[in-house]
């Protein structure tokens, strides 16, 4: 069975391009589910329903990966969950179809890219903090986050595995500064999985 999922960020955006593509890919009208929600939001009611409806042997169909996941890491985790459940994935515009060996290999590359992105951001963060300490910046007003640090902070916050205090401490900023860089729509909506240990690079 094919189950389609589409998403637009605001009510004034037109989802017809997505729904037309899903129908052309063979998804029945009754099996197309649409959310109106920002990609950063963890709460997407129709997506949650889709994940409940999917059964072994089904295929989840979307037009693009950015319609599906909140972040690269979320996509990797979602891909692993679908594989474990025996559910296929077809991403129309990006040529990913886990029914083929090529499609499975392409989707698997996301795991490699996600790990590389994580290590690169952590390394840049550690280098920046080390450079600041070398210049004697140990007190006074805390620096604001760089774009890469803000992305890392948002991802760690969305995943729910670290407290706000842990993330702020890892990035060398106050909690108020951290909140200022988070997507306001995501504050208070993240999963509550409890704190975990910080990445090893954070103590550098």
pLDDT in tens, 47-59: 999 999 999 999 9
Catalytic choice (9, 186, 193, 203): 9
Whole-angstrom distance, CA of residue 7 vs CA of residue 10: 9
Q: Which residues contact 163 (CB under 8 A, 6 or more apart)?
A: 195
- Output Rg (C-alpha) for the chain, integer angstroms: 19
pLDDT (0 to 100) of residue 23: 96
Domains along the chain with CATH numbers: 2-99 (3.40.50.1390), 115-203 (no CATH)
H-assigned helices in the chain: 16-24, 45-53, 72-85, 101-134, 147-159, 164-171, 175-181
Q: Residue 189 forms beta bridges with which residues?
A: none
Residues of the chain under the 50 pLDDT cut: 139-141, 193-204
DSSP letter at 173 equals -
- pTM of the model as a whole: 0.54
CA torsion angle 191 168 170 113 (round to 10): 50
Question: Is 43 a known active-site residue?
Answer: no
pLDDT (0 to 100) of residue 20: 95
pLDDT (0 to 100) of residue 189: 62
pLDDT (0 to 100) of residue 1: 93
């Amino acid at each position: 069975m094919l189950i389609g999922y589409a998403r637009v960020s605001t009510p004034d955006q037109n989802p017809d391009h997505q729904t037309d593509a899903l129908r052309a890919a063979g998804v029945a009208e009754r099996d197309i589910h649409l959310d109106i929600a920002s990609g950063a939001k963890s709460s997407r009611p129709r997506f949650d329903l889709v994940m409940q409806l999917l059964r072994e042997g089904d295929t989840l169909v979307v037009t693009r990966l950015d319609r599906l996941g909140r972040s690269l890491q979320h996509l990797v985790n979602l891909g692993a969950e679908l594989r474990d459940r025996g559910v296929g994935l077809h991403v129309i515009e990006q040529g990913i179809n886990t029914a083929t060996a090529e499609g499975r290999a392409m989707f698997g590359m996301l795991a490699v890219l996600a790990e590389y992105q994580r290590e690169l951001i952590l390394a840049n963060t550690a280098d920046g903090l080390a450079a600041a300490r070398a210049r004697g910046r140990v007190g006074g007003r805390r620096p604001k986050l760089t774009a890469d640090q803000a992305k890392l902070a948002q991802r760690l916050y969305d995943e729910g595995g670290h407290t706000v205090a842990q993330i702020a401490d890892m990035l060398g900023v106050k909690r108020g500064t951290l909140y200022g860089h988070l997507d306001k729509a995501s504050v208070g909506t993240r999963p509550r999985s409890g704190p975990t240990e910080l990445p090893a690079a954070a103590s550098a």
